[in-house]
C-alpha cells in the first residue's frame, strides 16, 4: 500500500526540506516521556563542551605562567584547575552517554511496538502484499536507524557543534587572524561534504533494499526447508543467498567508501591549516613579540576542535543513510489503518442467528472478479460444505464472512445484522476457524491453546484439550503442558498440531465455525482421530466446511458446489452424487469419466 504523501529519497545535493520536520518528529517521539533524562543529557553535553574549551584556555596559563614565568603559585592553581576541569568533562561525558542511550533504547522499543501494532491493524490482503522480510527490516533496521538519528543529532548539535563554537571563540581570543582563517576554510569542507552526501542517500536506499533481500532469502529457505531438502535444492538456495549477500556486500562497501572520503577531506584541510599556523606563529613570535602561550592555546584549541569537527562531518553524511530508514518507517506508520484498534461501530450482539449472503460479488482487483451473485442462507446449527475446483471462491467466502474483505456488491448478515455495520472484533469473536495449516506461536502448548480465549483458566484449557482428543498426547510429552512449540510447530506431528488448533477453537466457544480443509493434509489414521474431535467441535454450531475429501463432505447436511464464482448447485451428498456432474467430477473422477 502506498500513500500520496510518500517521501522519495533525494539524490541531489540540495538540502531536503522534508528532513527537518522528520527529525523534529523523531525528537518529539523520543523526548515525549523522557524530558528529564533528555534535558539531563543535553546539560551534560553543554558541560563537556564548556570543559573542553576551558582546557584549551588553561594551556595559555600553563605555558606563560608556569613554564615561562615559573610562578609556583600559578603552577598549583593551574594544575588543580586542569584536574578539576578534566574530571568534570569525564563525568559529564559519562552522564550524557548513559542518559542518551537510555532515551535512544526506549525510542527503539517504542517504535518497534508501534510498527508491530501497525502490522496488526493491516488487512490480510495488505500483509499478503508486503513480504515479511520487509516488515522485519522495518521492525529492526528502521527502528535502529531512528536511534542513530537521535544520538547523532543530539551529540552533534548538543555537544560537538557547541564544542567547536566555544573552541573557535578561544582561537579568536588568542589570535584573530588565525581564528578567522579557520572559519573561512569551513565552506571548502561543506562543498566536499555535499558531494559526498549526494551519493550517500542514493546508495543508502539501495543498501536497505539489498538487506531486505538477504533476510528474505534466509527466511524463505528456513520456512521451506522440507521442500529444499526434498528437491535437493541446497545448491540453488546457496547460490540465491550468495547473490543477495554479494549485492548487499557491494552496496554496503560502496556506502563505506563514499563515507570514508570525509577523513581525507578533513585531514587534508586540517593538516594544511596546522602547517600554516606553525609558519604564522613562528613569524609572529619574532616580528610581533607574541607569547608562546597564546599560540600553544590556539593550537590546542584547534586540535581539540578537530575531532568534533570530523564527527560533525561524518554525522552529516551518516544521517543521510539513516534518514532513508526513518522516512520509510514513518511512511509505513502514516498509512491509513484498514482495521484500527478503535472501531466505533456497535458490537455484534449475537452470532447464533442464520448466516446469509445476499447477491454478494467480490474481486481482489477490478479486473479479477472472484464471486458474482452468491446467495445462501445457513441455519443456526447447520453444517454446510463448500466444494469446487481451486480458485472457485471457497476461501473468499470465508474471508468475507470474517470481515477480511468487503463485498463489492450485496450484503452479508448474521442473525439479520449486516456485518458491515458492526465492529470487526465482535464479529470475529463469534467465529472460530480451524485451517489446513494451523498457526502456532512461540510459547508452550498451554499458551497456544489459551489464545482461544483471554482469561481462560487452566481447567478450561485442559477440558478443551480433552474434548479435542489432545490431552493424552500432551500429558505423554516429557514436559507435558509446558512443552515449548518450536517454530511453525516442527517438533509435533500434523495431527497433534491440528488437535491443538481444534482445542483452541473449542475454548473460544464461538457459535460459528469455519473448517478450512482442516484434514486435507493428514493421513487416513490421523484423519479419523481428528474427525472425532471435529464432530465434538461442530455439535450445535453453525459450520461452514471447505473440503476436498469426500469423507469430510459427508459430515455436512448440505453441500454447495461453486463454479466460476457462483453457486452452481446445492443438495445433500446423495442428491449431488446422482444429479450433479460437477460434483461427481470433484469426488468421483473415474466414475464420471466413463469407459474408454
Question: Of the residues 333, 366, 395, which one is the last residue of a structural domain?
Answer: 333
Are 200 and 302 contained in the same domain? yes
Decide if pLDDT at 13 tops 50. Answer: no
The enclosing domain of 582 has a CATH number of 3.40.50.300
| Three-class SS state of 443 | strand
What is the domain extent for residue 384?
A: 342-430+512-520+541-590
Degrees, nearest 5: CA angle 523-528-529: 105
Same-domain status, 119 and 229: yes
Instruction: Please indicate, yes or no, if residue 574 is contained in any of the structural domains.
Output: yes
Would you say residue 570 has pLDDT above 80? Answer: yes
- Per cent of the chain over pLDDT 90 is 11
Of residues 92 and 73, the one with the higher pLDDT is 92
Residue 233's CATH number: 1.20.1560.10
Q: What are phi and psi of 140, to 5 degrees?
A: -100, -55
Residue-by-residue DSSP string for 352-372 = -S-EEEEEEEEEEETTEEEEE
Are the beta carbons of 514 and 428 closer than 8 angstroms? no
> Looking at residue 7, what is its pLDDT?
39
**What is the pLDDT, as a whole number, of residue 158?**
73
Tell me the sheet residues that pair with 562. 388, 567
Whether residues 328 and 397 share a domain: the answer is no
Cα 455 → chain centroid: 28
Residues 258 and 405 in one domain: no
Q: Same structural domain for residues 192 and 291? A: yes
Is there a contact between 79 and 14 (Cβ–Cβ < 8 Å)? no
> pLDDT tier at 2 (50, 70, 90 boundaries)?
very low
Q: How many residues does the chain have?
A: 596
**pLDDT, position 47:** 92
**Which of 179 and 168 is assigned the larger pLDDT?**
168
Long-range contacts of 181-186 (CB under 8 A, 24+ apart): 181/273, 181/276, 182/273, 182/302, 185/269, 185/273
Query: Taking residues 505-524, what's their average pLDDT?
Result: 78
320 and 355 share one domain: no
In this model, does residue 27 exceed pLDDT 90? no
Confidence band of 12 (pLDDT split at 50, 70, 90) = very low
Residues 91 and 100: their CA atoms lie apart, in Å, by 14
CA distances from 191 to 14, 268, 319, 558 (A): 11, 14, 17, 77
Please say if the pLDDT value at position 182 is more than 70.
yes
Choose the final residue of a domain: 333, 353, 380. 333
CA angle 481, 482, 488 (to 5 degrees): 95
Indicate whether 236 and 277 sit together in one domain. Answer: yes
Cell numbers that stand for 53 in this block = 574549551
The pLDDT, as a whole number, for residue 459 is 92
CA pair distance 560, 586, nearest whole angstrom: 12
Residue 357's pLDDT is what?
A: 94
Q: Are residues 124 and 211 in the same domain?
A: yes
Q: Is the pTM of this model over 0.85?
A: no
The verdict on residue 170 lying in a domain is: yes
Q: Which residues contact 473 (CB under 8 A, 6 or more apart)?
A: 496, 499
Is there a single domain that holds both residue 125 and residue 203? yes
pLDDT of the residue at 595: 39
Domain shared by 416 and 278, yes or no: no
Clarify whether residues 234 and 374 are in a common domain.
no
Give the integer Cα–Cα distance in Å for 461 and 211.
Answer: 42
H helices present in 453-572, as ranges? 458-467, 471-476, 494-508, 524-538, 550-553
Q: Please, which pLDDT band fits residue 525 given cuts at 50, 70 and 90?
A: low
Question: Residues 447-457: what's their mean pLDDT?
Answer: 88
Mean pLDDT of the chain: 78
* 3-state DSSP assignment of residue 66: helix
Q: Which residues of 282-299 are buried (b: 16+ CB within 10 A; e: fewer)?
A: eebeeeeebeebbbbbbb
Tell me, yes or no, whether 282 and 187 share the same domain. Answer: yes
**For the chain, how many structural domains are there in total?**
2
d(CA 120, CA 212): 21
Tell me the pLDDT tens digit for each residue of 264-275.
766 677 667 667
The greatest distance separating any two alpha carbons of the chain, rounded to the nearest whole angstrom, comes to 120
Amino acid at each position: 500500500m502506498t500513500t500520496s504523501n510518500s517521501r522519495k529519497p533525494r539524490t541531489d545535493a540540495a538540502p531536503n526540506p522534508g528532513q527537518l520536520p522528520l527529525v523534529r518528529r523523531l525528537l518529539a517521539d523520543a523526548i515525549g516521556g523522557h524530558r528529564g533524562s533528555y534535558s539531563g543529557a543535553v546539560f551534560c553535553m553543554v558541560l563537556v563542551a564548556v570543559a573542553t574549551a576551558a582546557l584549551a584556555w588553561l594551556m595559555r596559563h600553563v605555558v606563560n605562567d608556569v613554564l615561562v614565568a615559573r610562578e609556583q603559585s600559578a603552577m598549583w592553581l593551574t594544575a588543580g584547575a586542569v584536574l578539576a576541569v578534566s574530571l568534570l568533562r569525564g563525568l559529564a561525558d559519562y552522564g550524557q552517554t548513559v542518559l542518551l542511550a537510555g532515551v535512544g533504547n526506549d525510542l527503539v522499543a517504542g517504535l518497534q511496538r508501534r510498527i508491530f501494532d501497525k502490522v496488526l491493524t493491516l488487512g490480510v490482503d495488505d500483509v499478503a502484499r508486503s513480504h515479511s522480510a520487509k516488515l522485519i527490516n522495518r521492525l529492526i533496521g528502521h527502528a535502529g536507524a531512528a536511534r542513530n538519528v537521535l544520538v547523532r543529532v543530539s551529540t552533534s548539535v548538543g555537544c560537538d557543534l557547541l564544542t567547536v563554537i566555544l573552541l573557535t571563540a578561544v582561537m579568536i581570543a588568542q589570535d584573530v587572524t588565525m581564528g578567522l582563517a579557520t572559519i573561512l576554510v569551513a565552506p571548502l569542507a561543506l562543498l566536499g561534504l555535499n558531494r559526498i552526501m549526494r551519493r550517500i542517500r542514493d546508495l543508502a536506499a539501495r543498501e536497505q533494499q539489498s538487506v531486505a533481500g538477504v533476510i528474505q532469502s534466509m527466511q524463505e529457505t528456513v520456512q521451506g526447508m522440507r521442500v529444499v531438502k526434498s528437491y535437493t535444492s541446497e545448491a540453488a538456495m546457496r547460490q540465491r543467498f550468495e547473490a543477495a549477500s554479494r549485492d548487499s556486500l557491494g552496496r554496503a562497501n560502496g556506502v563505506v567508501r563514499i563515507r570514508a572520503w570525509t577523513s581525507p577531506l578533513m585531514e587534508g584541510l586540517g593538516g594544511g591549516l596546522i602547517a600554516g599556523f606553525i609558519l604564522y606563529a613562528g613569524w609572529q613570535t619574532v616580528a610581533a613579540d607574541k607569547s608562546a602561550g597564546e599560540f600553544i592555546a590556539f593550537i590546542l584549541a584547534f586540535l581539540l576542535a578537530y575531532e568534533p569537527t570530523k564527527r560533525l562531518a561524518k554525522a552529516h553524511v551518516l544521517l543521510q543513510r539513516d534518514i532513508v530508514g526513518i522516512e520509510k518507517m514513518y511512511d509505513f506508520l502514516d498509512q491509513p489503518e484498514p482495521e484500527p484498534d478503535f472501531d466505533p461501530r456497535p458490537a455484534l450482539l449475537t452470532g447464533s442467528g442464520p448466516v446469509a449472503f445476499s447477491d454478494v460479488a467480490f474481486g481482489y482487483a477490478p479486473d479479477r472478479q472472484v464471486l458474482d451473485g452468491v446467495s445462501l442462507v445457513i441455519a443456526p446449527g447447520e453444517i454446510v460444505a463448500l466444494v469446487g475446483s481451486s480458485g472457485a471462491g471457497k476461501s473468499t467466502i470465508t474471508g468475507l464472512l470474517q470481515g477480511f474483505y468487503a463485498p463489492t456488491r450485496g450484503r452479508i448478515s448474521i442473525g439479520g445484522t449486516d456485518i458491515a455495520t458492526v465492529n470487526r472484533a465482535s464479529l470475529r469473536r463469534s467465529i472460530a476457524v480451524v485451517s489446513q495449516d494451523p498457526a502456532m506461536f512461540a510459547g508452550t502448548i498451554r499458551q497456544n491453546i489459551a489464545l482461544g480465549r483471554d482469561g481462560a483458566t487452566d481447567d478450561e484449557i485442559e477440558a478443551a484439550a480433552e474434548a479435542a482428543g489432545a490431552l493424552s498426547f500432551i500429558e505423554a510429552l516429557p514436559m507435558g503442558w509446558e512443552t515449548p512449540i518450536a517454530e511453525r510447530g516442527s517438533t509435533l506431528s500434523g495431527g497433534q498440531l491440528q488437535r491443538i488448533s481444534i482445542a483452541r477453537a473449542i475454548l473460544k466457544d464461538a457459535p460459528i465455525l469455519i473448517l478450512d480443509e482442516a484434514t486435507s493434509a493428514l493421513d487416513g489414521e490421523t484423519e479419523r482421530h481428528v474427525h472425532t474431535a471435529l464432530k465434538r467441535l461442530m455439535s450445535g454450531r453453525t459450520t461452514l466446511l471447505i473440503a476436498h475429501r469426500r469423507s469430510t463432505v459427508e459430515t455436512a447436511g448440505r453441500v454447495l458446489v461453486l463454479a466460476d464464482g457462483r453457486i452452481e448447485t446445492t443438495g445433500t451428498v446423495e442428491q449431488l452424487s446422482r444429479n450433479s456432474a460437477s460434483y461427481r467430477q470433484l469426488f468421483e473422477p473415474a466414475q464420471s469419466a466413463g469407459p474408454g
